[in-house]
């Protein structure tokens, strides 16, 4: 195969296997009074043959012992065979390049290799107050834990990007906490039709005209509180000389977790001195995600006030006012996680500012 010879190539994995998930759960429900239902559940799942992008052209680990010998410049056996415009088309190359599984390519990426796996376990608690007297309430709490071997390249907004594998030759060492899953999440959703107006508990004797203005109001509340996600450290400088592997720091043997208000730790969210740059020609010993240091938690409360006005038998006007992040809670971004970088350990921003919007709808 000579496609892009002398450069990097990528292609879908020709040996893909069928991705599948196995799920199991156990739940217990209990009715409390006439209106409240409480449910406690355990949920588990296992993912097999999950998609990953793999680098097949990383230097075999046993050659890292050659150290500086890998950088030795030698005549390029592909000179004048590989086009001069390509990265490997010059008269010389390095000894390490020629020891790669495919020395005539700078990279060989398998897209969608079904080599990944995951396990998930969660405690789930749910309480629901059925609709009565104009009020409905649903509260839920989830304490999940997922361990997987990563999906490099995945990105979810403020959470950041899943780092590449540190060692494609030892993907088992990538197994750690999922980098995008909070350890606890609590949500509440409620709706209340205000008991004001004709036929209601308050001001039931309003005239039809007054009822059009004072009756028919509803308040809705949706809130979510969750812990932060595990931090995934990398190094700004990759000294592994592995020709395709990533780089993570070494731990000095103590936890990097710090306590105290986040606002007091914006310039040093975690103990940055707990990690060091690995020696050249070696991989760091930190796991893909840290087991005990998470980013800032997230709090969000959305409120809406709705007014329904009946104009005719089949015509209804709805005025809706909504406030997203109604209390303007500051949700800080994750700190910088690249050791040696200018923002290492620093929280450089926040998101989710309050947004207020109004809407008018006519139903007919």
pLDDT digits (tens, 9 = 90+) for 54-110: 999 999 999 999 999 999 999 999 999 999 889 999 999 999 999 999 999 999 999
What pLDDT is attached to residue 162? 65
State how far the Cα of 119 lies from the Cα of 21, in Å rounded to an integer: 10
What average pLDDT does this structure show over 277-282? 96
* Residue listed under structure tokens 């376990």: 121
Which pairing describes strands 73-75 and 92-94: parallel, antiparallel, or unpaired?
antiparallel
C-alpha distance from residue 40 to each of 46, 130, 141, 227 (Å): 21, 17, 10, 21
Return the pLDDT at 200: 75
Tell me which of 3-7, 97-101, 323-327 is least confident.
3-7
CB neighbour burial string for 217-226, b if at least 16 within 10 angstroms, e if fewer: bbebebbbbb
Neighbouring residues of 141: CB distance < 8 A, sequence distance ≥ 6: 123, 124, 125, 126, 184, 185, 186
pLDDT in tens, 302-317: 999 998 887 777 888 8
Return the pLDDT at 151.
Answer: 66
Q: What is the pLDDT of residues 164-219, one digit of tens each?
A: 799 999 999 999 999 999 999 999 999 998 887 777 777 677 777 777 777 778 99
Domain boundaries, the chain: 22-46+116-363
Which pLDDT belongs to residue 158? 44
Residue 213: CB partners within 8 Å, gap ≥ 6?
Answer: none
Average pLDDT, the chain: 91
Other beta carbons within 10 angstroms of residue 77's beta carbon come to 11
3-class DSSP assignment, residue 181: coil
Residue 1: name the closest of 151, 105, 125, 88 by CA: 105
């Amino acid at each position: 195969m000579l496609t892009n010879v002398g450069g990097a190539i990528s292609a879908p994995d020709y040996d893909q296997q069928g991705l599948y998930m196995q799920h199991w759960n156990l739940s217990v429900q209990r009715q409390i009074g006439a209106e409240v239902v409480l449910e406690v559940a355990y949920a588990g799942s296992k993912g097999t043959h999950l998609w990953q992008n793999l680098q097949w052209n990383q230097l075999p680990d046993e050659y890292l012992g050659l150290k500086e010998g890998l950088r030795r410049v030698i005549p390029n056996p592909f000179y004048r065979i590989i086009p001069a415009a390509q990265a490997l088309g010059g008269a010389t190359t390095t000894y390490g390049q020629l020891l790669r599984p495919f020395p005539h390519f700078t990279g060989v990426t398998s897209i969608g290799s079904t080599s990944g796996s995951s396990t998930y376990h969660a405690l789930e608690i749910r309480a629901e107050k059925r609709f009565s007297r104009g009020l409905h309430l649903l509260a839920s709490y989830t304490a999940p834990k997922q361990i997987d071997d990563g999906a490099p390249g995945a990105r979810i907004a403020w959470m950041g990007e899943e780092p590449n594998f540190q060692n494609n030759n030892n993907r088992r060492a990538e197994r750690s906490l999922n980098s995008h899953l909070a350890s606890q999440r609590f949500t509440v959703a409620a709706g209340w039709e205000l008991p004001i107006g004709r036929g209601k508990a308050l001001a039931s004797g309003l005239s039809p005209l007054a009822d059009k203005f004072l009756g028919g109001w509803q308040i809705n509340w949706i809130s979510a509180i969750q812990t932060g996600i595990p931090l995934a450290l990398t190094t700004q400088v990759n000294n592994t000389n592995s020709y395709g592997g990533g780089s993570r720091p070494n731990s000095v043997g103590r936890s990097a977790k710090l306590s105290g208000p986040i606002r007091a730790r914006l310039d040093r969210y975690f103990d940055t001195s707990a990690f060091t740059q690995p020696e050249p020609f070696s991989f760091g010993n930190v796991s893909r995600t840290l087991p005990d240091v998470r980013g800032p938690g997230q709090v969000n409360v959305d409120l809406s006030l709705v007014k329904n006005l009946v104009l005719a038998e089949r015509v209804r006007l709805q005025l809706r006012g909504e406030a997203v992040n109604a209390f303007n809670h500051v949700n800080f971004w994750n700190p910088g996680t690249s050791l040696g970088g200018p923002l290492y350990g620093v929280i450089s921003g926040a998101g989710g500012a309050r947004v207020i919007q109004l809407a008018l709808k006519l139903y007919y």
